[in-house]
Amino acid sequence: MVGAILTQNTAWTNVEKALANLRLSAAMNPKQIIKMPSKRLAALIRPAGYFNQKTKKLKIFSHWLVKSGGLRSLKSLPTSQLRTKLLSLWGIGPETADSILLYALERPVFVVDAYTRRLCSAAGIDAGDYGSCQRYFESRLPRSRKLFNEYHALIVAWGKLYGNKKTRGEALNLVRA
């Protein structure tokens, strides 16, 4: 869940550095994040960028998680209720909420990210806004957490290879083949 917040507007390689710093400082659970001084937390997550904003997001999220009774308690709630609660938190948008739902809370929710939008664009799919793009995939795939997880991983792999301006032509050929 920490990774879902840290990855906002940041390459995963930078998030990994921040996560390694948190692990070394034994600050990977919400209670530790709450106790840690904000300046110290910001220094640890600095590689992920926007560290002051992300420190605030992590603190808010951690307080909410502890107040909610932790992961076990949250897992008993319906997905729609969880998503609404996540989206009500400052700094948690649809992509972050859905990443938490899919990966941490093990819900069959399709995550839409920049790579997903680029893939749709390359394939000539007008996926519209976040919700429309999500519905596009969820309406065409069996509702399966494992499948959505795998699809997201494959789209990210595609995006890293073909989702930039230098390789966009190759991407178009690959998608349309």
Domains of the chain as residue ranges with CATH: 2-104 (1.10.340.30), 114-176 (no CATH)
70-124 confidence digits (pLDDT tens): 999 999 999 999 999 999 999 999 999 999 999 999 999 999 999 999 888 888 8
Asked if the model's pLDDT at residue 173 lies above 80, the reply is no
Whether pTM exceeds 0.95:
no
Q: Would you call 150 exposed, middle or buried from its count of C-beta atoms within 10 A (0-12, 13-18, 19+)?
A: exposed
Mean pLDDT for the chain overall: 92
Q: Which residues contact 172 (CB under 8 A, 6 or more apart)?
A: 122
User: pLDDT digits over 37-52, tens only?
Assistant: 999 999 999 999 999 9
Query: At CA 149, angle to CA 6 and CA 115, rounded to 5?
Result: 60
Residue 163 Rama label (left phi>0; alpha psi -120 to 50; beta): alpha
**Looking at the chain, how many residues does it have?**
177
pLDDT at 166 over 80: no
- The answer to whether the beta carbons of residues 131 and 138 sit under 8 Å apart is no
Q: What is the DSSP letter of 8?
A: T
The predicted pLDDT at position 176 comes to 55
Q: Which one has a higher pLDDT value, 67 or 158?
A: 67
Q: What pLDDT is recorded for position 150?
A: 97
Mean pLDDT (whole number) for 4-33:
94
Q: CB 151: neighbour CB atoms within 10 A?
A: 16
Angle at 125 between CA 122 and CA 129, to 5 degrees: 105
Mean pLDDT value of segment 2-28 = 94
